[in-house]
Amino acid sequence: MSRQIAIAATAVVLAGLAGTYLATVAFKTDEFAQCRAGQVAGGDIGGPFTLIDETGATVTDVDVITTPSLIYFGYTFCPDVCPLDNARNAQAVEILEEQGIMATPIFVSIDPARDTSDVMAKFTDNFHDRMIGLTGSDEQVAAASRAYRTFYQKEVDGDPEYYLVDHSTFTYLVLPGAGFMDFYRRDDSPEKIAGSVACFVEAAAN
């Protein structure tokens, strides 16, 4: 799959996020508006999912989203983007912990054929001791991806064992009991993400 197609697919995802947000705020006041810093958010994004955790147990969103959570969809064989983004998310969680806010980084595999529970455990242990790795069947992963409106597609022209997967690279903030709050792009710093998460947590408490 070409880079141009991947970029186009990401643009479609962004357009869908924007449309959902505009439709939502037209009907209700957004109590978190001061936290969004102009980013598109809100609406019918996120929701229930059933996946497999690092121990091999079947878990749902309710089981894993017990604190403010930064959810990222990627895969462990990703050569550069996923490691950098997960490291950034782990840094944001560390900054939040220094402020007294316990948040959880969550990494959802979009390559379940290679990303077994054991593989996910080893990968997430490299980034943060609270990072949760989730995998599942093709159907379970696809359902979670649809819920968060992410994009991914395996490259069919590469090596059948060492293939790459094109995918969107947003990180999603989800609060337990409140759901999806906002999303962050690759160029957002750990400090910016931590500041945003802190704002949402404070707003939710009021």
Predicted pLDDT at 71? 98
State how far the Cα of 46 lies from the Cα of 181, in Å rounded to an integer: 9
Q: Where does the pLDDT of residue 206 fall: very low under 50, low under 70, confident under 90, or very high at 90 and above?
A: confident
Reported as type and span, the H/E element at residue 107 is: strand 104-109
- Name the burial class of residue 147, with classes exposed (0-12), middle (13-18) and buried (19+) by CB atoms within 10 angstroms of its CB: middle
Mean pLDDT of 53-76: 98
Reported as type and span, the H/E element at residue 132 is: strand 132-134
Residue 179 near residue 61 (C-beta atoms within 8 A): no
Q: DSSP 3-state helix, strand, coil percentages of the chain (rounded to 5)?
A: 40, 20, 40
Each residue's pLDDT tens digit, 125-162: 999 999 999 999 999 999 999 999 999 999 877 678 88
> Is the confidence at residue 8, as pLDDT, over 60?
no
Mean pLDDT of 175-184: 94
Report the range of poorest mean pLDDT among 23-32, 61-70, 150-159.
Answer: 23-32
Residue 117 near residue 54 (C-beta atoms within 8 A): yes
- Which class does domain 3-205 fall in? alpha beta
